[in-house]
Structure 1
C-alpha cells in the first residue's frame, strides 16, 4: 500500500503527457509548487479529467514517485467555470496562474500566495470591481508576499492612490478586494504598480503579452 498525502491546492498548469496522461503543476498550501501526473485523465469519462484543468481548486490526494507526485483522487471545491465563459477574465486569470508559478517555490508553505490567487480569481468574477484594478492589486500583493516591494508608491501620486497602495500592502489577503478607485486614481495606481513590477519582476509573461494586446 503506497503512502499518500493530501494537499490543498490549485492547478496552475496542465499539459498533455503521453497518450492519455496529463502533467500538472500545482500550487499547494503545504508543499509549495509541485509536479504531479494525472494518469489516464485524457481518456473520456476518466474521473480525474475535470480536476486536471487549470483553475481547479481543492484537496488533491497524491503518492510520491521518483521525480514527481502521482494524482490518486481529488475533491474539487471550485472549478472557476465562470472564467471560461469570459475571454478577457480568463486571460487575467491565466496571467495570475503564470505569475504564481513564477513566484512559488518547492517545499515551502505557500498559504498566502495560494489565498491570493484564489481571492483574486473570485474578484475577477465580481463585476463591481474593474479587472484592471484586480490585476494591479494582485501584482502588488504578490510582490509583498515575495518580499520585494516598497512601503510607499515608488512614484509621485495623490493621497488617494497612496492610501490604496498602503491598504494593499498592509491588509490580509481576505480583505484586499473591498475598495475601488476613481478612474484618475486608478491610472495612478496602475502606473505605480507597473513601475514596481518592472523593477522587481525580471520576467516576461506570455499570458501578459496576450492580455495587454486584448485590453489595449
Structure 2
C-alpha cells in the first residue's frame, strides 16, 4: 500500500488546472523532478494556496500515484517573494527554472542541482550581482554538473595547459596549435579562462561572489551562448521574453 512521503524541493513552475486546482513541477532532492497536483489550491481558504506558487522552497508531503503525486501539505522555507515584484528578475528566475527543468528528470538524486537553484534564485532576489552574469554562470555550472560542461582546464584535443582558443563544437578550449586546425574558433582571454574555471569549481556559496567588466561579460556571453546553442536542442520561452526586455 502506498504511503505519504516527504520531499525537499523548489517549485519550478505552477500551472492552473480545472477551476480550483494547480499542477506543480517540483525539483526535489530525493526524487528529482516530479509532477504534483495541488487539489483546491486556488480556493481562498486552502492551506495549500501560499505554498503552491512558483519558486517556493520547502518540505512537501505528497501522496504518490501512478504517474504523478498529490500534495497533502507543505512547510515553506523560502518564498523568494522579491522575484515577482521585479519583471526582469522574474524573467531571469523563470528562465533559470526552465533551463533546470530541461536537464532534470524523475528518479534522480538532485542535491547538487537543488543547491545550485537555491543560490541562484537567492542571488537574483538580492540583486547585488548583475542578472546577466548570474544567468550565464548558472548555465555554465549546471551544464558542468550534468556532464556536458565546457572543457576549460586543458586543451580539449591534446590536453595541453596553454589555452588560447574556444570552439563550441570541439567541446571547449583549445591550445594554439589545435585551435588553428579548426574552423569557427575564437581567441579567448586569460580572464575568460579563469572565469570559466572559477564558475565550474567554486563552492556554491561563493559562486556569485564576483563581478566582470563589460568586455569580460561580453566574452562570457559569447562563449556560453555558442556552447548552449551547440548542445541544447530546445528553444526556451522565457529566454524569448528576456530578449525582448
Above 0.5 in TM-score? Answer: yes
Aligned length: 214
What is the CA–CA distance in structure 2 between the aligned matches of 1:30 and 1:174, rounded to whole Å? Answer: 21
Residue of structure 1 in register with 2:132 after alignment: 132
Deviations 1:65-98 (A, max 9, x none): 2221110110111111101110000000000111
Residues 1:174 and 2:205 are matched in the alignment: yes
SS in 1 for 2:9: strand
Query: After TM superposition, what 4+ stretches of structure 1 lie above 6 angstroms from structure 2?
Result: none
Structure of higher CA gyration radius: 2
Say which structure, 1 or 2, has more relative contact order (CA 8 Å, 6+ apart).
Answer: 1
Deviation of 1:151 (Å) = 2.3
Q: Corresponding residue for 1:63?
A: 63
Among candidates 190, 194, 212, match of residue 163 of structure 1: 194
Shift of 1:139: 0.7
- Structure 2 gaps of 5+ residues are 153-165, 167-171, 173-185
Q: Does the Cα contact within 8 Å between 2:140 and 2:150 map onto a contact in 1?
A: no
Alignment gaps of 5+ in structure 1? none
Higher helix share: 1
The structural deviation recorded for 1:179 is 0.8
| TM-score for both structures, normalised by structure 2 | 0.84
Q: Could you tell me which residue of structure 2 aligns to residue 49 of structure 1?
A: 49
The answer to whether the Cα contact below 8 Å between 1:7 and 1:61 also exists between their aligned partners in 2 is yes
> Following TM superposition, by how much is the alpha carbon of 1:2 offset from its aligned partner in structure 2, in angstroms?
6.0
